[in-house]
Structures are given as C-alpha cells and as structure tokens.
Amino acid sequence: MTFNPVIPTGGLAGWNFLSRTVDTQKEVFSNSSVVQRDLDYFKEEFPKVNSADELVNDRRLLGVAVGSFGLQDDIDNRYFIKRVIEDGTSDPSALSNLLSDKRYEELASTFSFPNSSRFDPSFTSRVADAYVDQAFELAVGEQNEDFRLALNLQRSLGDLASSSISNDA
C-alpha cells in the first residue's frame, strides 16, 4: 500500500489524533489508486466466478476475498482456502467448522458456491468495505500496532455486544 496513515505520536495524544481523523484518513486510503484498482477489479470480475477453484486461481480476487476477513497472510495457501470454501459451513465436519479461527467460517459462508448473491452489488460493496477496513487497520498497524488492535476492537465490539453469548464469555 502506498498510503501511510498519519499518526504523529503514540499514547493517548496519538490515539486522540487518530480518532479525530480516522474517517478522513480512511477515505483517502480507500481512494488511493492501489486500493481502488483492486476493488474495481473485484467488483467487475467476481460476478463471473463460478467456483472456489476460479476464485483461488485469480490472485487479485483472492487478495480482496481473504483480505476482507483479515486472512491476507493465507493468500499463498490456495489449496487450504479452496478447501475451506468448498466444504462450506453446513456440515459439522466441514473444515471451517473445525478450525478455532471463526474468520474461516465467515469466509466459507460468504464465498460459498453456487453463490447467487455474487451478482448483487450490495454483496460486492460489503466485501469491499470489509477489505478497506482491514487494509486500513493493517496500514495503521505498520505505524503503531497498538492502534491497529484498538481499531479492530472498536469494529468488533458492536458484533460482540449484539451476539448471543453469555455474560461470562
């Protein structure tokens, strides 16, 4: 990525600055040419994909797909990602259900084939928004890892609070 978030200092002062400017910085980040090229390619090409095999064989598509779940480090594990997607989530013995990292389960349910929602513009927009969030957090993490974790926590807390887990969890 060519965009570097502006974080002038660490600690509370740096966090306050980032909190005030996060919307503007994320907009600049998402409008950068590298991110826009990847997102435009994904929005144009993903509706043409008919199988997990086609998805994993297109590195640019796969980068956005796994990047939208924070799994960008697995981009070279094509067979693994293909198996996660092909197994789906309906069978309790499916690979995504056996893994402790539930991002794989989300990946499998989002990119299951046949996937009629891939033709829906709102589907590609949701994936693109998730990709931008994850990629921006990574860019922030290159400057300050604690701030990346805090941004991730902010994004995840709403989902956690609305989930049906017990108070002890």
In angstroms, rounded to a whole number, what is the distance separating the alpha carbons of residues 140 and 10?
12
Both ends of the chain: CA-CA distance in Å?
37
Distances (CA, A) of 137 to 61, 84, 92, 95: 20, 25, 32, 27
Q: Tell me which of 17 and 162 has the higher pLDDT.
A: 17
pLDDT single digits (tens) 85-135: 999 888 999 999 999 999 999 999 898 877 666 677 788 889 999 999 999
Q: What is the pTM of this model?
A: 0.84
Q: Look at residue 122 in the predicted model and tell me its pLDDT.
A: 84
In angstroms, rounded to a whole number, what is the distance separating the alpha carbons of residues 162 and 149?
20
- What is the pLDDT of the chain when averaged over all its residues? 89
Residues 48-53: what's their mean pLDDT?
A: 90
**How many alpha carbons fall within 13 Å on the CB side of residue 81?**
27
pLDDT band for position 54 (cuts 50, 70, 90): very high
Q: Look at residue 169 in the predicted model and tell me its pLDDT.
A: 61
